[in-house]
A and B are shown apart, each in its own frame.
Chain A
Amino acid sequence: MISAFLFRGLAGRIAWVAAAIALIGILVPLSNLFLTPEHALYVPDYIVSLFGKYLTYALLALTLDLVWGYCGILSLGHGAFFALGGYAMGMYLMRQIGSRGVYGDPILPDFMVFLNWKELPWYWYGFDQFWFAALMVLAVPGLLAFVFGWFAFRSRVTGVYLSIITQAMTYALLLAFFRNDMGFGGNNGLTDFKDILGYTLQEPSTRAGLFAAAAFALCLALIISSAIVRSKFGKVLLATRDAESRARFLGYRVEHVKLFVFTLSAMMAGIAGALYVPLVGIINPGEFAPANSIEVVIWTAVGGRGTLIGPIVGAITVNLGKSWFTAQFPEYWLFVLGGLFVAVTLFMPRGILGTLSDATGKLKSLGSGKATALVQDPADASELRKEGEAS
């Protein structure tokens, strides 16, 4: 049943994009590890790390699209789920350091020794096991989203009010994680990681493996999301987004619909964070900053929301721009980002992907003489529709 369900996700354009991501996930690490630096197709180490990071951003944007583009829940706190997944992974990596820390304590991470703590806090138990950390990567963001959503959706908080409380949620976590006595390293966060599953993090082969893992996670998340939006549940999601009370009067339990998709999205965001942390080598409370969550919204809007592929394109494009800009004109980047959001909202409300498919749609209809001729194959029809829904 599950495989049949996933197979349905592989329809149309999604199949090509998923295949392309999988191919990148295989070829880039291979090129990095087995080609010599002189080779034309060689991918240098820093590119592997940089694009690995972009892939985790793309995954984060995809999870936001699932709730925002398809269910109308504009979460301005998705960065919190990403950061929580990252912290869970960071705690595992911290405990892997063992006695190799500056203070050489076999159990306590350096910052605890520095704070003169004698014992490991109870919530750090279990994080020496990878399976436990992996479980927490899903469970912690999932549980937060479930509890948060349970109260918010049951009380029928929607629209801008919901956005504001998601923003407040991530801000509250930011303040909490800044505190030293929370036991998560305070201001400095968690860093100085040594290895993951026994592989040294500084090794190019570990980096390449992490890149492949990020590509695989993105590919799988894309297929799962696509299967969801193509199922009848996907239609219920759109129904909830477009006419919530109508969906209620048809007998749908709207709060359960939202709760399911919000929790699932938060868990996938947690995975993105968990992959991000070993790639960049640090996690600190800054990841909870409200501005980070808003940036995710911008990536999604730029790429085209309600398309699944758009947010991936948007996250990578905007971050490429960011990398270039912050190197060339560091002081202007925030203006550019803000300007980009305004420009996209005004001139490309359907984002890069929506605008592109509008253009190809027009070309095709010019060729065939009339617009309705486009809708031949049901798969194509639903494809066109998905794009229409974004507007």
Chain B
Amino acid sequence: MTEETNQMTSALLYLDDVSVSFDGFKAINGLSLTIEKGEMRAIIGPNGAGKTTMMDIITGKTRPDTGDVLFEGKMDLTQHDETEIAQAGIGRKFQKPTVFESQTVRENLELALAGNRGVWASLFYRESEEEAAKIASILETVRLTHRANELASDLSHGQKQWLEIGMLLAQDPKLLLVDEPVAGMTDAETVETAKLLREISKTHSVIVVEHDMGFIRDLGVKVTVLAEGAVLAEGSLDHVSAHPDVIESYLGR
């Protein structure tokens, strides 16, 4: 479809001076961000800071007005749609848990499982033992083995969040975008989720958007603070929370 840019950066994900506006409102304003291979990054910021819009840009849902978005240094994400970007290896968990409600937990994972997504391939698909074992292990990881054959719509809110994380695992992308994974979870579930994400980050690169400061502390990773569509501060949680601009932006509102 488009000529791929030459290798410009070693980073897994590279955003440079990205801007997008909706009806004159600058949702993202000169945002630059780099995620290295194997890194887990937390992104925080007040409402309207552009966190979700940033995810929309990375996954091809929204096209930026200006700026570069490169995946693995060569794929220009602004030139591809959601399907192509997903197939290239970027997975996404939505803010509101989005699972296929009318299908069972296991079927949700089957759908997410990496593999050929074509029409013919799915028509004549037969699950291999390997794939069955992979689904079983993911069910174990997200603690849903006992509910594997129940409809996803019957799960609790927290379980749906976990199922969606499990679907990301099944998809096995190179980069996971996780939008507010602990929204609506109990404290115990939040602690478990942090554990789960740390486990996932051993083998995947992850970007987590979250409001819950305790959860971010549990993750113990580099934090990027967004405000008004641009990066306000970057560093450890203690570093950014001591930053005067951050205090201003959070407390000034």
State the A residues within 8 Å of B (CB): 1, 5, 228, 231-233, 235-236, 238-239, 242-243, 245-254, 256-257, 260, 375, 378, 381, 385, 388-389
Contacts and interface: CB of A to CB of B under 8 A. Distances in A.
Interface of B: 59, 61, 81-83, 86-87, 91-92, 94, 98-104, 107, 110-112, 117-119, 122-125, 149, 151, 167, 171
A149 to B, nearest CB: 13
B56 to A, nearest CB: 11
Contacts of B92: 249
Nearest to B170: A250
Contacts of A249: 59, 82, 86, 91-92
A250 B112 contact: yes
Contact of A1 (B81, B110, B124, B151): B124
Given A238-B100, A246-B98, A249-B91, A231 B122 contact: yes
Nearest to B59: A249
A233 B123 contact: yes
Contacts of A375: 149
A245 B123 contact: no
Given A5-B124, A233-B123, A242 B101 contact: yes
Contacts of A253: 83, 117-118
B107 to A, nearest CB: 6
Nearest to B86: A251
Contacts of A254: 83
A251 B125 CA distance: 16
Contacts of B102: 238, 242, 385, 388-389
22 contacts: A1-B124, A5-B124, A231-B122, A231-B123, A232-B110, A232-B125, A233-B123, A235-B110, A236-B122, A238-B103, A239-B103, A242-B103, A245-B98, A246-B98, A246-B99, A246-B100, A251-B171, A252-B117, A253-B83, A254-B83, A385-B151, A388-B151
A5 B125 CA distance: 10
B218 to A, nearest CB: 26
Contacts of B59: 249
Given A232-B123, A248-B86, A388-B102, 19 more contacts: A233-B119, A233-B123, A235-B103, A235-B122, A238-B100, A238-B103, A239-B103, A242-B102, A243-B101, A250-B112, A250-B167, A251-B87, A251-B171, A253-B83, A253-B118, A256-B119, A257-B119, A385-B103, A389-B102
Contacts of A388: 102, 151
B223 to A, nearest CB: 25
A5 B167 CA distance: 27
Interface centre among B83, B118, B125 (most CB of A within 10 A): B83
B102 to A, nearest CB: 4
A194 to B, nearest CB: 41
A245 B103 contact: no
Closest 8 A/B residue pairs (Cβ): A251-B86, A233-B122, A232-B125, A389-B102, A248-B82, A251-B87, A232-B122, A233-B123
A81 B30 CA distance: 52
Contacts of A243: 98-101
Question: Which of B99, B101, B102, B117 counts the most A-chain CB atoms under 10 A from its CB?
Answer: B102
Contacts of A238: 100, 102-103
Contacts of A252: 83, 117
A38 to B, nearest CB: 51
A256 B81 CA distance: 14
